Amino acid sequence: MRGVVAAVPTPITDTGAPVEDLYLAHCQWLLANGCDGLNILGSTGEANSFDGKARKTVMRWAAGALDRSRLMVGTGTPSLAETIDLTSFADELGYEIALVLPPYYYKPLSDDGLFAWYARLHEALHGRKIQIYFYNYPQMTGLNIPVSVIERLHKTWPDRFKGIKDSSGKLEYCRELTALLPDLAVFPSSEVALSEAAQFGYAGCISATANQTSSLSAQLWSDRENPDAALVEKISKIRSTVASQPLIPAVKYLVSLQSGHSQWQHVIPPFLELDEAQKSALAEITDHLVTV
């Protein structure tokens, strides 16, 4: 798993049930338009707003219709037992990578306690081959996964703990990881970081706005040894414009325009659909979207 990975949103009905045909069509479109891989059921996919049954349903859809070697799936929850269950299920479906949030509810959390949680997950997976990628998202979880804990887990079980998606927005954290653990796959959450991927050894990016920048990001990844400043600026402008509004509703609104299906605009509370003023704030990029 390397390159441009889109964090895929999940289309839902007005009652909150995932919609298979729209979901798979968008996944296939992303893979055909610059994405090397897909992160399904992550934060952008509103995974933590679904119950386990719905998450398993979406996992089945993707595993049955898409190249599983190009997929990673979010399986982390504050419940160790549920995380074990979802990760084991992903392995049974043939997923190679699970993206696992830390247990973010009980705080303060000691380094030894965090290590023990991930170690218990590893032990429960027994001989399963699925790899674990850490998911560092302190803005949502309220904790930053310490580099020392990642180092300890990776060096103890290098075939299990193989990578990380870092959504902290702090590239110095990613740089520290690649310098300390060069065989760990480090994915910042911004496509703009691809401009320094060759310099610092990033494996790529995993990004919500790759739903809108996939072809541009693919070009930047391809030219990462000599990134084009104008291209970096164009991607940065798209990202900042989308992020100026509530991110997940904005991404889903833009996918609705790309696909021509207004159902994409539905979100699960506490998210709200964009109002007209928020939609207007995205107008400067909507005319430049690559559509189906």
Q: How many CB atoms lie within 10 A of CB 292?
A: 12
Is the peptide bond preceding residue 182 cis, with omega within 30 degrees of 0? Answer: no
Question: What is the token pair recorded at 192?
Answer: 């703009």
Give per-residue pLDDT as tens, 225-282.
999 999 999 999 999 999 999 999 999 999 999 999 999 999 999 999 999 999 999 9
Q: Detail the DSSP E strand segments found in the chain.
A: 3-7, 37-40, 71-74, 97-100, 131-136, 161-166, 185-188, 204-207
Give per-residue pLDDT as tens, 192-229.
999 999 999 999 999 999 999 999 999 999 999 999 99
CA-closest candidate to residue 8, choices 201, 259, 202, 278: 259
pTM of the predicted model, to two decimals?
0.96
Furthest CA-CA distance within the chain: 52
The Cα–Cα gap between 263 and 50 comes to: 18
Asked if the model's pLDDT at residue 289 lies above 80, the reply is: no
pLDDT of residue 292: 57
> Domain coordinates of the chain in residue numbers?
3-225
Give domain 3-225's CATH superfamily. Aldolase class I (3.20.20.70)
